[in-house]
């Protein structure tokens, strides 16, 4: 049976309910189909099978990239660096690349799209990535008229790619719902969920004027905190609400921490300063002192407790961010900081010019 789920791209099958693409046998002859897993995700918010294996998703990404003549790389603005792993870029940047900087709706209202576009373009240049940038929100449609114009001018075979949980399928659903896609009357959209690895293989949609659009499985990056936790704990860390901040005057011997997930100890400063902790999820940065460090790291319980921790010495200049991939970031204000960063083993971090606020050192 060479039919594929229109929600996740899995090859449909009737033999094994415990595998991707399963549908009851009486459904085989119907039109556009979604598998049982997608049906349960959409209607019951339950994913009993979990994310697709990394090797499987990578092969699907390779195949889809060979088919495409342009790649739209969706990146979560609130976890920008985590959305640009080298392995994914090796494939995506082999074709003309446009970066769709998603979740603009989660940024503070005073932060303009133009400011963010300039920041993202400069950050990509610093990372050696050649790409156009479009700032968008798949949730409210911001920036999609410009994306539609870009597509109509090029009439591409456009692959939408990205790491897990950046909103790829939501971006495709938004495009299919626009004038470009409505003429074809696509009744079944990609399955949109908060679960990582929902898309199993790549799928294609024909739009107007010979334009093709493809979805691909989310690439699982190394070193992202949300990927090392159970699905419920991971969902708590994935940016899904307007960015919140906690501002503290931090002196040597004080820490900022997300309980049980990360901690930053101030070892020294060049003067009086502030640290601002940012998250766009269900957690927040808090303040404490060095004598409580173990309490908020190795000894912290809760769900998915972390026992293996690593220490990193970091110099954080004024108006720079220290981003913890898959969690959030801390921004230095008024002075430079010398920090020790405590993270679960294997979790990555980046230092970058600040996303929110003044852009000069």
CB neighbours (10 Å) of residue 330?
A: 26
Quote the tokens at residue 118: 């300039």
pLDDT interval class at 360 (50, 70, 90):
low
Angle, vertex CA 27, rays to CA 21 and CA 33, nearest 5: 55
109-121 tens-digit pLDDT: 889 999 999 999 9
Q: Is the pLDDT of residue 216 over 90?
A: no
pLDDT interval class at 185 (50, 70, 90):
low
For residue 12, what is the DSSP state?
P
Q: Is the pLDDT of residue 167 over 90?
A: no
52-221 domain in CATH 3.40.50.620? no
Amino acid 193: pLDDT: 67
Question: What is the CA 188 to chain-centroid distance, rounded?
Answer: 24
Report pTM: 0.86
Q: Average pLDDT of 269-278?
A: 95
10-21 tens-digit pLDDT: 888 899 988 888
Q: Is the pLDDT of residue 335 over 60?
A: yes
pLDDT interval class at 361 (50, 70, 90):
low
Domain ranges for the chain:
52-221, 244-353
Amino acid 220: pLDDT: 83
Nearest to 173 by CA among 133, 136, 209, 221: 136
Higher pLDDT, 21 or 51: 21
Amino acid 173: pLDDT: 85
| Inter-helix orientation angle 168-176/144-154, to 10° | 70
Q: Average pLDDT of 284-308?
A: 95
190-213 tens-digit pLDDT: 776 666 667 777 788 888 888 999
């Amino acid at each position: 049976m060479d039919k594929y789920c229109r929600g996740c791209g899995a090859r449909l099958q009737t033999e094994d309910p415990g595998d991707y693409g399963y549908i009851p046998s009486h459904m085989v002859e119907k039109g556009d189909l979604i598998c049982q897993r997608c049906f349960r995700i959409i209607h019951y918010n339950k994913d009993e099978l979990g994310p697709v294996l990394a090797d499987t998703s990578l092969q699907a990404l390779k195949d889809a990239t060979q088919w495409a003549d342009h790649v739209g790389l969706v990146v979560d603005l609130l976890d920008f660096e985590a959305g640009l792993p080298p392995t994914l870029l090796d494939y995506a940047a082999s074709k003309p690349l446009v970066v769709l900087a998603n979740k603009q709706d989660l940024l503070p209202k005073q932060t303009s799209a133009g400011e963010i576009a300039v920041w993202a373009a400069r950050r990509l240049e610093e990372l050696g990535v050649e790409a156009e940038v479009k700032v968008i929100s798949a949730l409210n449609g911001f920036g999609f008229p410009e994306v539609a114009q870009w597509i109509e001018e090029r009439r591409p075979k456009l692959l939408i790619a990205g790491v897990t949980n950046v909103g790829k399928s939501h971006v495709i659903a938004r495009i299919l719902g626009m004038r470009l896609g409505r003429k074809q009357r696509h009744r079944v959209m990609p399955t949109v969920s908060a679960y990582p690895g929902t898309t199993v293989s790549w799928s294609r949609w024909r739009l107007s004027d010979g334009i093709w659009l493809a979805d691909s499985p989310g690439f699982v990056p190394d070193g992202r905190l949300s990927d090392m936790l159970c699905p419920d704990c991971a969902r708590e860390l994935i940016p899904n609400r307007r960015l919140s901040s906690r501002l503290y005057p931090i002196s040597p011997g004080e820490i900022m921490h997300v309980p049980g997930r990360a901690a930053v100890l101030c070892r020294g400063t060049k003067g009086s300063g502030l640290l601002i902790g940012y998250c766009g999820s269900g957690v927040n940065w808090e303040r404490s002192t060095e004598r409580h460090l173990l309490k908020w790291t190795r000894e912290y319980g809760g769900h998915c407790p972390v026992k293996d921790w690593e220490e990193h010495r970091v110099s954080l200049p004024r108006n720079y961010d220290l981003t913890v991939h898959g969690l959030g970031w801390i921004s230095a204000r008024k002075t430079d900081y010398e920090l020790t960063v405590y993270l679960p083993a294997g979790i990555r971090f980046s230092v970058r010019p600040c996303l929110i606020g003044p852009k000069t050192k």
